[in-house]
Amino acid sequence: MTRIAYVVSAYKYPRQLGRLLRRLSTPNATFAVHVDRKTSRSIFLEMQREAEAVPDVRFLERHVSHWRGFGHVSATLKGIADALEHRPDFDYVVLLTGQDYPLRSPRRLERVLGRAQGRSFLTWRALPWSGWQPRGGMHRIEDWHLVTYRKVHVSLPLRRRIPGGLAPYGGGAYWCLARRVVEYAYEFVQRRPEYVRFFRHVLVPDELFFQTILLNSPLRDTIVNDHLRFIDWSEDPGPTILRMEHLPALIGSGKLLARKFDATVDEQILDELDARIDEEEERDAR
């Protein structure tokens, strides 16, 4: 069976994080969890307690992670390093937040990735792209950005270029990457510290960092332009908090995962997904 190393970024809702970990836990699953250092110690300790019953969960060294800043990329790189060091037999790394949830059973997810023949799954578009403005999203890269606490954002129009002449690509921040792609990205980062320094001053770098590495790599033809998850961007600000009214779209999407859920807004949707997953597991066991 396919072995999955889940990397999870979280900052609130300990009970919901625990629910996610328990739902995804199988003998083939491991978890590396990063909790934003801005999260209070009491909530962090509660998250650890929620994870106690789940085998093979490691909490990563915490750092501050500001919205639209480099912190999420840093957390992802820590999770990848953890997988390479402590879970050397993994087949895929799957990147999640604490407000994601599976739409199918974890074993079904493992089987789907196992049949993918080493292909990876993330969304991407070459930049500039008309869906991102201004300048087709190039302002994120070419301008110098600094994102700090309380959402202070400083931007300077310097017209910077990505080191090494790499063509820019952007897409969704979350993905499912096969082992050889993960290894390539991590080795690239180790060889090219100037790339990391550059992206520390890119705006929303988690939507560009891995796309730009991988779509400029020899492995680009192994990457499917699909992150295998349902996300609704119809509300502003997005993504939409998924509720019971979204259940038909979720079930009909054919996706494996979804975000974003908030049990304080609608816990029934998670209960309904659990019921459907339990039924699927029962059918598969027959």
Instruction: Give the residue among 188, 178, 189, 173 at the shortest CA–CA distance from 223.
Output: 178
Closest to 120 (Cα-Cα) out of 160, 182, 176, 74 = 176
Does residue 135 surpass a pLDDT of 70? yes
Which token pair is 30?
């491991």
Instruction: Look at residue 15 and tell me if it is in a domain.
Output: yes
The predicted pLDDT at position 284 comes to: 77
Q: pLDDT tens for residues 233-275?
A: 998 888 999 999 999 999 999 999 999 999 999 999 999 999 9
Is 217 within the bounds of a domain? no
Per DSSP, what are the bridge partners of residue 169?
126
- Do the domain assignments include residue 212? no
Domain count for the chain: 1
Measured between alpha carbons, how far is 186 from 8 in angstroms, rounded to an integer? 17
At 54-99, the pLDDT tens digits run 999 999 999 999 989 999 999 999 999 999 999 889 999 999 999 9
Q: Is residue 53 part of a domain?
A: yes
Other CB atoms within 10 A of residue 148 CB: 11
Whether pLDDT at 286 is above 70: no
147 lies in a domain? no
Please tell me the predicted confidence (pLDDT) of residue 56. 95
Cβ pair 30, 5 in contact under 8 A: yes
CATH of the domain at 71: 3.90.550
Check residue 192 and give its pLDDT: 98
Structural domain span for residue 247: 4-115+228-285
Per the domain annotation, does 127 fall within a domain?
Answer: no
Strands in 127-191 per DSSP E: 144-147, 153-156, 169-170, 176-178
- Judge whether 269 and 244 are in contact, CB under 8 Å: yes
**Rg from Cα positions in the chain:** 19
Has residue 118 got a pLDDT over 90?
yes
Count of Cβ atoms closer than 10 Å to residue 92 Cβ: 25
pLDDT in tens, 171-226: 999 999 999 999 999 999 999 999 999 999 999 999 999 999 999 999 999 999 99
- Asked whether residue 258 is domain-assigned, the answer is yes
CA–CA gap between residue 73 and residue 117 (Å, rounded): 27
DSSP assignment of 54-123, as one string? SSSEEEPPP----TTSTHHHHHHHHHHHHHHHH-TT-SEEEEEETTEEESS-HHHHHHHHHTTTT-EEE-
Is residue 121 in some structural domain?
no
Q: What angle do CA 160, 166, 170 make, to 5 degrees?
A: 85
